[in-house]
Structure formats: structure tokens, C-alpha cells
């Protein structure tokens, strides 16, 4: 069987509108969180990506009835069972770790494969485990492929996270919503996706205070009912299209955004020299004539998102001086660098910082090592002279709804091929 590649002939000018989909990193937590509900749940505004399909299929493995139509998922948990979860599906995405917190919260027990996901260097889950243990769970890690987590009962506790972690904050919240008494998570992540998951759990009847601040207080409740929830727009997808517009947009309108969620990017694009119009739920961007180099340091929210560090990098080749991108969340998240070098870019990554000099990009054969590296290569391919062929595009489909057709509709010369 052949493999799909994405091909782009760069240099086109893009024009038109893009509607941003629901946030991947909310969706991948909210779908597992639906396990906690005892009645039917409807989740609206889901992105149409393979990570969503995988998680829905994992719900099916627990005998939960699901109906995913377009962007809406209906979940009927009436016949739910606590089954061990298969390794292969669990390994195909990082967010499968949310099945741990959700199953622990629902059944006080789970057996589950170890999470996979993008290879961004070491991605431990020690803070998740620390939280589960604090709530009274024991963890059997004797198997190399799976983990058994169980508790006689879960009891609220005070948990101070050593590292600000989106995943650990959400996972502990999932395990704690039905625990006995109060759980306090300190040094919690403040990302909008954490707030969205908390909003969903509150809609089920959970008692959670402080989402969006660094202290979360969760008072356990006995039952969680059904609800309907609309996922927030994806700030990283929006940011990726904003970078694309800045690279080659004649005029691109990006609809369905929450401007505050993309503010750190807007600030950088303005520093770079772009003129950006921001409305209540949209932004309009067109390529500037001259870009000034900027320095970027990734930080936890509301700092500059690590997930946008790779997509913005190709823009920095268009600037008139040297830019530095420092990655503090995943210091090894620089797998796009060698691929960009292949395209003629003058970029060096060392010790968590990329040094980026003005360069003219040329089409080349490149490899998407991870989701946002793939997004970076798409932006680069749109700017480059000639044809870029991107291999390993399964990573891109894990996180971007229909990106090839969306770019085509804006006027990009982009297509897929089986090779
Ligand atoms: N960390 C630990 N121990 C833990 C948990 C995290 O050392 O127990 C470290 C990580 O290795 C990393 C830092 O803490 O250095 C922050 O990691 P975090 O837990 O916040 O990341 P995550 O929850 O695994 C989510 C997103 C990522 C995004 C990061 C940071 C999901 C499914 N993934 O990962 O998204 O980069 O937060 O914002 O929500 C992507 O969308 O491309 C992506 C990788």
C-alpha cells in the first residue's frame, strides 16, 4: 500500500476565509471525560481529526454507544463496562492518558496501555501519577506495555504540581470530580483547554472552582448527569492560519476565534511588522512588505504557545535580521529544523534555542516528524519556490481538519498523492 504525501507548489497568493474548528486539545480531554457522566452527553464543535476518531473508538471499547456525525458526538453510557484498553490505539496518541483519570474517576480502577503521541523528547507523566496517588490510588507499573491504576476509594487531597502541566491538571481533575471531599490542585495549568474541560465537567454537575487560575478547588460529587457542550475554537489551528496569512495572504479572514487566546501570537506578528485587524470573533491578516526579526520564548499560557513555535518559524526567514526562538516547554521540539535546512533555510538549533537568519526557501522532500513540525513544513512549502513534498502526513491529520482542502479554497497550489 502506498503512503499519502502532501505536495505544495509555493509562491501563490492566498485570499479568502477560514472557519476555525473546535480545539483538538480540549476535544481529546472532553471525549474521555464523558465517561464520567451517567446519562447521555452531546459534544458539539469537535474537530474532524484522527485523534478524535481514535478516542471515540476507545469509548466503544468500553461498550459506550457513540454516534459521531460531522462535528457532533453523542455518547450513551448506559451499558458502559470497565474493560482493559488496547495498547495499539492508546499508543497512537498522547491524550489517551485522559482515559486514566476518567476511568479512575468512574470505576476506581483501570488497566490501560502507555500513551504515545508526538515525539517531542521526553514526555513523562509523573505528575499525573503523583496526583492519582495523592487521591488514594496505587499504580502497578510492572508491565512494560500497560499500567494498572486502582483505589478502594478516591479521597480529595492537596496536590502541588512540580511542573505546570496541562495534562496532569486535567487528568487529576477528572479523577477528583467524584472523589470524597475536596481536592486542591496548586500550580495548576491555566490554558484555555483546562478551562473548557472544567466547564464541561461543571455542566455535568461537578463542583470546580478556579479554572483558569493556578489554584483549582474541586469538591467531589456523587453523581454526574448528562449535558450538551460546545468545544472552544482551536487557538493553535487559528494561529497556524494566521502564520499562513502572514506568509502569503493577500487578505485572509479567520473566523471563529477567541482573540485573547491568540493574543501572544498577535503581539509577535505585530512586532514582526504586520498590520492585524482583530474583531470580536475573527481576525483579518495580509502579508506585510517588510518584516523585522523577533525573538520568541515559549511559555505556559498566557505566554507564547509551544505549539505555535514551529508554525511561526518559516515567517522568520522573511525577516531582515537574526531571530531567536527559545523553547522552554519541550527543549527538544526542533525536529522541523533539519527539514527546513533541506529547503535551504539558515537555521541552527542548539540547547533549546533556534537561531534563524534570512533565507530563501526552495521546495524539497521533507518529513513531518510530529504534528506542529508538519504545520511548519506546510507554511514553509507555501512560501518556497518550487514543489515541496511532505512525507509522514498522518501526524498532520491528527490535528488539522481538512487542511489541504482549506488551503486549496484559499488559492494554494496544494494536493495529496499516493507514493
Ligand atoms: N511534564 C512532566 N511530567 C508530567 C507532565 C508533564 O515532566 O507528568 C513536562 C512535559 O514533559 C513538558 C511540560 O511538563 O516538558 C509541559 O507538559 P504538559 O503536561 O503541559 O503537556 P501535555 O499536557 O502532555 C499538552 C498538549 C500539547 C502542548 C502541551 C503544552 C494535549 C493533548 N497536548 O500536552 O499539544 O504542547 O500541552 O501546552 O493537550 C500539540 O497539540 O501539538 C501538542 C503537543
Task: Examine the residue annotation and report whether 118 is marked as an active-site residue of this protein.
Answer: yes
**Buried residues in 75-111 as b, exposed as e (16+ CB within 10 A):** bbbeebeeeebebebbebbbbbbbbbbbbbbbebebb
Q: How many helices (H) and strands (E) does the chain have?
A: 14, 23
- Torsional class of 101: left (φ above 0), alpha (ψ -120 to 50), beta (otherwise): alpha
State which ligand 1 atom lies nearest to the alpha carbon of 128: 8
pLDDT at residue 345 in the model: 98
Rounded to two decimals, the pTM is 0.97
Q: What is the pLDDT of residues 272-313, one digit of tens each?
A: 999 999 999 999 999 999 999 999 999 999 999 999 999 999
Indicate which residue's Cα is closest to atom 20 of ligand 1.
165
pLDDT at residue 122 in the model: 64
Name the nearest CA neighbour of 398 among 363, 366, 365, 373. 373
Is 124 annotated to bind a ligand? Reply is: yes
| Residue 120 predicted with pLDDT over 80 | no
Name the nearest CA neighbour of 100 among 47, 151, 144. 151
Neighbouring CB atoms inside 10 A of 2's CB total 7
Question: How far does residue 168's CA lie from ligand 1's centre (Å)?
Answer: 9
Mean pLDDT within 33-58: 97
CB 186 within 8 A of CB 158: yes
Mean pLDDT of the chain: 96
Pocket of ligand 1 (CB under 6 A): 24-25, 28, 94-95, 118, 122-128, 163, 165-168, 189, 236, 306-307, 329-330, 371-372, 399
Picking from 119-123, 175-179, 231-235, 342-346, which range would have the lowest pLDDT averaged per residue? 119-123
Residue 113 confidence class, pLDDT cut points 50, 70, 90: confident
Is 82 annotated to bind a ligand? Reply is: no
CB 216 within 8 A of CB 169: yes
| Residue 123 predicted with pLDDT over 80 | no
Alpha helices in 146-209 (DSSP H): 166-176, 192-203
- Please give the biggest Cα pair distance in the chain: 64
* Cα atoms in the 13 Å half-sphere on the side-chain side of 399: 26
The percent of residues in the chain predicted with pLDDT above 70, rounded, is 98
Is 178 annotated to bind a ligand? Reply is: no
Amino acid at each position: 500500500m502506498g503512503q499519502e504525501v502532501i505536495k505544495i507548489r509555493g509562491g501563490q497568493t492566498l485570499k479568502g476565509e477560514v472557519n476555525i474548528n473546535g480545539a483538538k486539545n480540549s476535544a481529546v480531554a472532553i471525549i474521555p471525560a464523558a465517561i464520567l457522566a451517567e446519562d447521555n452527553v452531546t459534544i458539539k464543535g469537535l474537530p474532524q481529526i484522527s485523534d478524535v476518531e481514535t478516542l471515540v473508538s476507545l469509548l466503544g471499547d468500553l461498550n459506550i454507544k457513540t454516534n459521531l456525525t460531522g462535528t457532533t458526538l453523542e455518547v450513551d453510557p448506559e451499558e458502559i463496562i470497565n474493560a482493559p484498553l488496547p495498547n495499539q490505539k492508546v499508543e497512537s496518541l498522547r491524550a489517551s492518558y485522559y482515559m486514566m483519570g476518567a476511568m479512575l474517576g468512574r470505576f476506581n480502577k483501570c488497566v490501560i496501555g502507555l500513551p504515545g503521541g508526538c515525539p517531542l523528547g521526553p514526555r513523562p507523566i509523573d505528575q499525573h501519577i503523583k496526583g492519582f496517588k495523592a487521591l488514594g490510588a496505587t499504580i502497578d507499573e510492572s508491565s512494560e506495555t500497560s499500567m494498572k491504576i486502582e483505589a478502594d476509594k478516591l479521597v480529595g487531597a492537596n496536590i502541588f504540581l512540580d511542573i505546570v502541566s496541562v495534562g496532569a491538571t486535567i487528568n487529576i481533575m477528572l479523577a477528583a470530580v467524584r472523589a470524597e471531599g475536596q481536592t486542591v490542585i496548586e500550580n495548576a495549568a491555566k490554558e484555555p483547554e483546562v478551562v473548557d474541560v472544567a466547564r464541561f465537567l461543571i455542566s455535568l454537575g461537578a463542583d470546580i472552582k478556579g479554572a483558569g487560575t493556578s489554584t483549582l478547588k474541586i469538591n467531589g460529587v456523587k453523581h454526574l448527569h448528562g449535558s450538551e457542550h460546545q468545544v472552544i475554537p482551536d487557538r493553535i489551528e487559528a494561529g497556524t492560519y494566521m502564520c499562513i496569512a502572514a506568509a502569503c495572504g493577500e487578505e485572509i479572514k479567520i473566523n471563529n476565534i477567541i482573540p485573547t487566546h491568540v493574543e501572544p501570537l498577535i503581539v509577535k506578528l505585530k512586532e514582526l511588522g504586520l498590520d492585524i485587524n482583530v474583531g470580536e470573533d475573527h481576525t483579518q491578516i495580509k502579508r506585510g512588505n517588510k518584516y523585522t526579526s523577533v525573538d520568541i520564548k515559549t511559555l505556559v499560557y498566557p505566554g507564547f504557545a509551544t505549539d505555535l513555535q514551529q508554525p511561526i518559524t518559516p515567517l522568520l526567514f522573511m525577516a531582515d535580521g537574526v531571530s531567536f526562538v527559545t523553547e522552554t516547554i519541550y527543549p527538544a521540539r526542533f525536529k522541523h529544523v533539519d527539514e527546513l535546512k533541506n529547503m535551504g533555510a539558515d537555521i541552527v538549533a542548539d540547547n533549546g534555542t533556534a537561531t534563524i537568519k534570512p533565507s530563501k526557501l526552495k521546495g524539497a522532500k521533507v518529513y513531518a516528524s510530529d504534528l506542529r513540525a508538519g504545520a511548519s513544513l506546510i507554511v514553509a512549502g507555501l512560501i518556497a519556490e518550487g514543489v515541496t513534498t511532505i512525507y509522514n502526513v498522518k501526524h498532520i491529520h491528527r490535528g488539522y481538519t481538512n487542511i489541504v482542502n482549506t488551503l486549496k479554497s484559499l488559492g494554494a497550489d496544494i494536493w495529496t498523492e499516493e507514493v
